[in-house]
């Protein structure tokens, strides 16, 4: 049988270290048959049963407190590559599959920054990336076939020949079964133009219609404390030979974003006690970052897959770790919501003494109904996502931020929006929750896959163990 850790209690943390749980069993299956055994043996593998890949989620969606945590990283093979698809096991990392595709002159449609995203999580959970022109911005939208094992230990496949079921499965977060294999659509590798421009809030608000009319991908670096919005624009150049691709722009950008920036912010937040000096150091640094992005980080022929970052295995204990939260807002209301966000962050700092210490980010995502809990299900959206080193006061800020976002018609992600309430989820998703539950019950009759997190937010049934 699979390698297991059975000592009690077992303490497991997410990548950032903020989500801590104590499953009774942690198991590392090596193939689908071992997952079948896990599902069927209730005595050795008690519920709730939850599967994780790199455990990067910022919420408790993967927690198996007192139950069985299934770590999928041993199932990491790429099984097939064709001109328009790739099939891989669920534990394979997105960045590893992307690099293999690149050798065949292919790429994913969505090249998310989190390269440690596992294929299984990508197929059934929420992701964030600015939509490329004419494309979706969520990875699961391009999953065409999902193989999983239900709580009864049955192997099933869900594909494009079952469009409504596939739509729900793409938002299933492991509540239908443990995914062990996925097929994604891919496309020919293309050169990508990259450049940045920086605006004040008023200038960005005035020029947003013009910026959208360019027909390019829009990602945002947003800083309410220095009145700055730097826009990252991307677009493809299909005719450019792949031999002319360059990579240094993404290497510099990713080093600052994933390592140097969080490390600097952590040092300043931790070791500079004088408030005015701390603010000056943070504000000055992120002004410099905006200048560097706008003047240096640009190129005509960059490699799309080089947007992805391979993070260390565990971030907790590292000075460069960071965390975030995300809500998406109707595009037609975005400027009003963004202005309110600037005011909210400034006023929260003035009254509560807390500010997040890394620049917020934002994305423009196309209308997308490919998954049931898509945050752009009702139309195009844009986001503003606070980012932090987890400095003291972060969780209290998130609770206030969540309330603010609900008031501004925001939509969250179950794996990337922490400290949600049932009311906030119901307002965001409405009757889609009931539709999801009607499907979930068909695959998990005894609620073996439901943990307290989803029981609270989706109203999923009480867990019932069967002998």
User: Contact at 8 Å (CB) between 181 and 215?
Assistant: no
pLDDT at 8: 55
Those residues whose C-beta lies under 8 Å from the C-beta of residue 192, and which sit 6 or more positions away, are 234, 235, 236, 237, 301, 302, 303, 304
Structure pTM?
0.94
> In order of start, what are the domains of the chain with their CATH numbers?
3-71 (3.30.43.10), 78-189 (3.30.465.10), 191-425 (3.40.462)
pLDDT averaged per 10 residues in sequence order, the chain, 467 residues = 56 89 94 96 95 94 95 97 98 97 96 95 96 96 98 97 98 97 96 96 98 97 98 85 73 92 96 97 97 94 92 74 96 98 98 97 98 98 97 97 98 97 97 96 94 91 51
C-alpha dihedral (308, 313, 317, 319), degrees to nearest 10: -30
pLDDT at 136: 96
Q: Which two tokens stand for residue 63?
A: 């927690």
pLDDT at 162: 97
Residue 183 DSSP SS3: strand
User: Which H, E and C letters describe 191-207, residue by residue?
Assistant: EEEEEEEEECHHHHHHH
> Which among 440, 454, 366 has a CA at the least distance from the CA of 135?
366
> Which among 394, 376, 378, 377 has a CA at the least distance from the CA of 386?
394
**Distances in Å between the alpha carbon of 460 and those of 138, 167, 392, 427, 441?**
25, 19, 33, 17, 9
């Amino acid at each position: 049988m699979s390698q297991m850790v059975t000592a009690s209690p077992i303490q497991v943390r997410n990548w950032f270290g903020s989500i801590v749980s104590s499953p009774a069993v942690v198991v590392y299956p090596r193939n689908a048959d071992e997952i079948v055994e896990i599902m069927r043996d209730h005595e050795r593998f008690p519920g709730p049963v939850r599967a994780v890949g790199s455990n990067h989620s910022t919420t408790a969606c993967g927690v198996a407190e007192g139950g069985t945590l299934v770590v999928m990283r041993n199932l990491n093979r790429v099984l097939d590559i064709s001109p328009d698809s790739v099939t891989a096991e669920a534990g394979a990392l997105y960045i590893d599959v992307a690099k293999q595709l690149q050798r065949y002159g292919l790429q994913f449609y969505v090249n998310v920054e989190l390269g440690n995203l596992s294929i299984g999580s990508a197929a059934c959970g929420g992701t964030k990336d600015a939509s490329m022109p004419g494309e979706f911005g969520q990875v699961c939208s391009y999953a065409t076939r999902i193989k999983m094992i239900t709580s009864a230990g049955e192997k099933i496949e869900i594909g494009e020949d079952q469009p409504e079921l596939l739509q729900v499965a793409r938002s299933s977060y492991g509540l239908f079964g443990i995914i062990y294999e996925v097929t994604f659509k891919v496309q020919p590798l293309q050169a990508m133009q990259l450049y940045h421009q920086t605006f004040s809030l008023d200038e960005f608000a005035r020029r947003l219609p013009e910026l959208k009319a360019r027909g390019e991908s829009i990602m945002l670096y947003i800083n309410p404390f220095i009145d700055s919005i730097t826009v990252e624009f991307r677009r493809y150049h299909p005719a450019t030979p792949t031999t002319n691709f360059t990579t240094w722009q993404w290497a510099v950008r990713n080093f600052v974003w994933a390592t140097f920036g969080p490390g600097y912010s952590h040092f300043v937040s931790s070791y500079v006690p004088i408030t005015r000096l701390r603010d000056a150091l943070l504000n000055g640094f992120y002004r410099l970052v905006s200048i560097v992005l706008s003047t240096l980080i640009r190129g005509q022929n960059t490699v799309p897959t080089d947007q992805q970052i391979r993070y260390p295995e565990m971030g907790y204990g590292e000075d460069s770790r960071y965390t975030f939260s995300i809500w998406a807002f109707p595009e037609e209301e975005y400027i009003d919501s963004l202005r309110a966000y600037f005011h909210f962050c400034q006023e929260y700092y003035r009254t509560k003494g807390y500010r997040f210490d890394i620049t917020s980010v934002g994305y423009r995502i196309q209308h997308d109904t490919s998954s049931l809990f898509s945050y752009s299900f009702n139309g195009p959206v844009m986001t503003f996502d606070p980012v932090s080193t987890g400095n003291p006061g972060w969780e209290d800020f998130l609770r206030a931020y969540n309330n603010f976002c609900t008031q501004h018609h925001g939509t969250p992600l179950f794996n990337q929006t922490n400290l949600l309430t049932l009311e906030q989820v119901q307002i965001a998703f409405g009757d889609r929750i009931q539709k999801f539950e009607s499907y979930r019950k068909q695959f998990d009759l005894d609620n073996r896959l439901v943990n307290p997190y989803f029981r609270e937010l989706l109203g999923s049934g009480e867990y019932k163990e069967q002998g």
